[in-house]
Chains A and B, each alone.
Chain A
Amino acid sequence: MLVFTALHVNGLSGLRYTPQSMLAFIVRRIALTLPVAWIVVTLVFGLIHLVPGDPIAQMLGEGASVTEVARLRHELGLDRPVMEQYGAYLVGLYHGNLGVSFRDQQPVASSIRSRYPATIELAVAALAFSLLFSIPAGVISAIQKGRLADRALGLVSLLGVSLPNFALGPLLILLFSIGLGLLPVSGRDGISHLILPALTLGMGIAAMTMRMVRSSMLEEIHQDYVRTARAKGLRERTVLFKHALRNGLLPVITILGLQTGALLAGAFVTETIFSWPGLGRLTIQAINARDYPLVQGCILTITLTYILVNLLTDVMYSVIDPRIRL
């Protein structure tokens, strides 16, 4: 049952909900996620049937013998009816079995497990960098609106949005590794190896988030509650960071959830540039080797991660701002 109570915190007039309604929201949100996840699984399963001609012949190359083709087709279960293949795929998935890599005969799930932490490490570092840059920059830009600092940061953000990571990465290597000799070019061995890939991957998101924080703060600092806080004699820093920024960050959380998609997709390029041993690089290697089961496993893992992060963002958003409900 919903208990409606007027709520006036920091100028937000909203409705208060009971924990039960929060739980109902979370359950409903998960229920909405499941069909999407099922469709994604089905689409990824269907990808191998998109391969023009015979996927097995494609995988083995032109010199493969007929018996070899037949053997691999049987091993991958591609000689069975499609619905049976689909059923086996779902059952395998339920048991965490994503098939066997065609190139090195390793279970796909274990290859993915060994690479997954590197991608998560890179994505978290990139996100941390983007937040550390974008929040202060967005606030400064908003309070200095129209002045030099705002214009300079605006230019940085426009460049950040327009500079793709496969151009930024090599340029950063040119500057910091080759020019100044400060940071390593590639590999994953400690924090110094993480800096350039995280900058490369996080710059676009930082620029986008900065724009968001700026416009959101511009909206907040003209609200009545901010004027009240100032009138109470609070220090400007308290007004900005304790009152305005708290509300100004709400829309940023949603954007961050959506940006996870850009992070995961950007990981393909960033990991390739810096030879970072993550899931993105594994996918590209698998694509080049035409190792279709491994490609399917990687794409499924990345997509399900994205869906999960979006689910968590929505739930988090509803906890922070109880007015948000489906």
Chain B
Amino acid sequence: MKKLLLRNKLAFSGFLIAGFLVLAALLAPWLIPYDPAVQDLPDRLSGPSRHHPFGNDELGRDILSRLLMGARVSMRVGGTVVLLSGVAGVLIGGLAGYVGGKLDTFVTVIVIDSLMAFPGILLAIALVAFLGPSIDHLIFALVIIGWVGYARLARGQVLKIKTLEFVEAARALGASGSRIFFLHVLPSIVQPLLVQASIGMATAVLAEATLSFLGLGIAAPAPSWGAMLNDGRNHLFDAPHMVVFPSVALVLTVLSFNILADAFRDWLDPKSLKS
């Protein structure tokens, strides 16, 4: 992995940006120059300046501070969604693949296919619409649509791995089913899961921003990049910086996690390293 990062400049920059974003999100409360909720109405909609490098929004709040705190929201939602949907997906999909039979049919044909029948984030929009907008409901909705990807991946991988000799050897040595599943099979599928987690992080950050943009995510005045973009939309003529900076932040985040996923994929595929 280290070799790959050093050889591939794009992968290295993706790794750097993603690391920077995570750090910025963690340290945001100490990095912000102003309180992100404090309004300065006389200075509303003012463009970038020495005191406010990214300008102010329509209530005179400092956009840089809101972006940094917004990164915290994005990373929190993204991280939680990846973790919860990853664990749920790997357990459900992995077990379905490992046990096989009726459980597998039920999980893949009924549960996964039905959830996949909903286009994109429509199911998340539907769930939040009926549950009511809040960060917990948002995370819940994104996990509901997110675990399916991990489940399909884990099932496919487990189906492949459970027939290999080392699993057979463990069984011959008398290892129990759960021991084989957790200690032998699961560790073997970590690499493809890393690819999926990187893509999942980009997807979750985007989905959070989309729902917040539509008014279905984080409630005001908490800063969210999607909600900031929605506010900025009404001031495209007089304060374009309100749209430009959250857009750049969002694109960099999504781009860096997508690049990371590509790097993990290359890492998985030894052929691409040689070339």
Contacts and interface: CB of A to CB of B under 8 A. Distances in A.
Interface of A: 35-37, 39-40, 43-44, 47-48, 50-52, 58, 158-159, 161-164, 166-167, 170-171, 173-174, 178, 260-262, 264-266, 268-269, 272-273, 283-284, 287-288, 292, 295, 299, 302-303, 306-307
B122 A303 contact: yes
B119 A174 contact: no
A295 B126 contact: yes
A163 B213 CA distance: 14
Given A40-B118, A161-B258, A170 B213 contact: no
11 contacts: A36-B113, A40-B114, A43-B114, A158-B259, A164-B250, A166-B226, A167-B251, A264-B120, A265-B119, A266-B120, A302-B122
A167 B229 contact: yes
Interface in B109-130: 110, 113-114, 117-122, 125-127, 129-130
A263 to B, nearest CB: 8
B129 A163 contact: no
A303 B117 contact: yes
A170 B232 CA distance: 9
Contacts of B240: 174, 178
B232 A303 contact: no
B247 interface: yes
B86 to A, nearest CB: 22
Nearest to A185: B236
B119 A260 contact: yes
Interface residues of B, number: 42
Contacts of B120: 261-262, 264-266
Given A174-B243, A295-B126, 7 more contacts: A39-B117, A47-B126, A52-B131, A164-B254, A261-B122, A288-B215, A303-B122
B132 A178 contact: no
B27 interface: no
Interface in B233-250: 233, 236-237, 240, 243-244, 246-247, 250
Nearest to B225: A167
Q: In the A-B complex, list the 7 residue pairs whose CB atoms are closest, starting with the nearest.
A: A265-B120, A261-B119, A167-B247, A162-B255, A306-B119, A39-B114, A287-B129
Contacts of B246: 167
A50 B130 contact: yes
Given A51-B131, A269-B210, A295-B126, A170 B247 contact: yes
Given A51-B130, A287-B216, A302 B119 contact: yes
B214 interface: yes
Contacts of B110: 35, 39
A65 B8 CA distance: 66
B209 interface: yes
A283 B251 CA distance: 27
Contact of B130 (A163, A260, A272, A292): A292
A261 to B, nearest CB: 3
A44 to B, nearest CB: 8
B233 A36 contact: no
A164 B209 contact: yes
B238 to A, nearest CB: 10
Contact of A162 (B113, B121, B243, B254): B254
A35 B214 CA distance: 31
Given A178-B237, A292-B130, A295-B126, A170 B229 contact: yes
A7 to B, nearest CB: 30
A159 B251 contact: yes
A192 to B, nearest CB: 18
Contact of B118 (A35, A171, A306): A306
A268 B214 contact: yes
Contacts of B121: 265
Contacts of B132: 51-52, 58
A194 to B, nearest CB: 19
B234 to A, nearest CB: 10
A51 B126 CA distance: 11
A50 B128 CA distance: 10
B113 A166 contact: no
B253 to A, nearest CB: 9
Nearest to B240: A174
B122 A307 contact: no
B209 A166 contact: yes
Nearest to A265: B120
A287 B126 CA distance: 9
A300 to B, nearest CB: 10
B25 interface: no
B251 A264 contact: no
Contact of A299 (B122, B214, B236, B237): B122
Contacts of A178: 236-237, 240
B245 to A, nearest CB: 11
B206 interface: yes
A284 B130 contact: no
A166 B121 CA distance: 14
A185 to B, nearest CB: 8
A134 B209 CA distance: 26
A90 B237 CA distance: 49
A43 B116 CA distance: 13
B252 to A, nearest CB: 8
Most central of A163, A167, A269, A295 by chain B CB within 10 Å: A167
